[in-house]
């Protein structure tokens, strides 16, 4: 069975940090570009960050630039999202997603090949 599994979510105070991980089972992550999406309560899901198969290209939505860092370890079959200086607006369910080609990231959710089940991130004092 092909699966993506996220971990690392939780409750953190504003200004704090969390590190999310996305692990694959049943397939090899290095064949895919990997993206992170998030969905806040009452809002549509939005793309947050994406990394190419090799890790040489990354993308960040404007609201997280300078605070979030995406990385991958193909040997470990994982992708991570380091989130620093967290704000209440970062609250939501975070999903990792696999894309067969990097350019599909720009097509959004419709182009996702595999989804994870999501992990909750709550930023609150």
* Phi-psi domain of 29 (left: phi exceeds 0; alpha: psi -120 through 50; beta: other): alpha
Q: What is the mean pLDDT of residues 23-52?
A: 93
Q: For strands 33-39 and 46-51, give the pairing.
A: antiparallel
For the chain, give the percent of residues with pLDDT over 90: 84
Contact 37, 47 (CB under 8 A): yes
Q: What pLDDT band is residue 46 in, cutting at 50, 70 and 90? A: very high
Q: What pLDDT band is residue 52 in, cutting at 50, 70 and 90? A: very high
The total of other beta-carbon atoms located within 10 Å of residue 26's CB is: 9
Contact 8, 115 (CB under 8 A): no
Is the pLDDT confidence value at 1 over 80?
no
User: Vertex 94, ends 89 and 97: CA angle to 5°?
Assistant: 135
**pLDDT top residue among 48 and 29:** 48
Give pLDDT, residue 31: 92
Q: What tens digit of pLDDT does each residue of 5-33 get?
A: 999 999 999 999 999 999 988 888 889 99
Q: What tens digit of pLDDT does each residue of 79-101 get?
A: 999 999 999 999 999 999 999 99
How many residues appear in the chain?
Answer: 125
Give pLDDT, residue 30: 86
End-to-end CA distance of the chain: 39
Give pLDDT, residue 2: 79
Give pLDDT, residue 32: 94
- 19 strand-pairing partners: 82
């Amino acid at each position: 069975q092909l699966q993506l599994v996220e971990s690392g979510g939780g409750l953190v105070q504003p200004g704090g940090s969390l590190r999310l991980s996305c692990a694959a089972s049943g397939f090899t992550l290095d064949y895919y570009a990997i993206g992170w999406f998030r969905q806040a309560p009452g809002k549509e899901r939005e793309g947050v960050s994406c990394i190419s198969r090799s890790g040489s290209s990354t993308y960040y939505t404007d609201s997280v630039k300078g605070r979030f860092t995406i990385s991958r370890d193909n040997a470990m079959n994982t992708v991570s999202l380091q989130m620093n200086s967290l704000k209440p607006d970062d609250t939501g369910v975070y999903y990792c997603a696999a894309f067969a080609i990097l350019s599909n990231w720009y097509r959004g959710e419709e182009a996702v090949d595999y989804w994870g089940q999501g992990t909750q991130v709550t930023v609150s004092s």
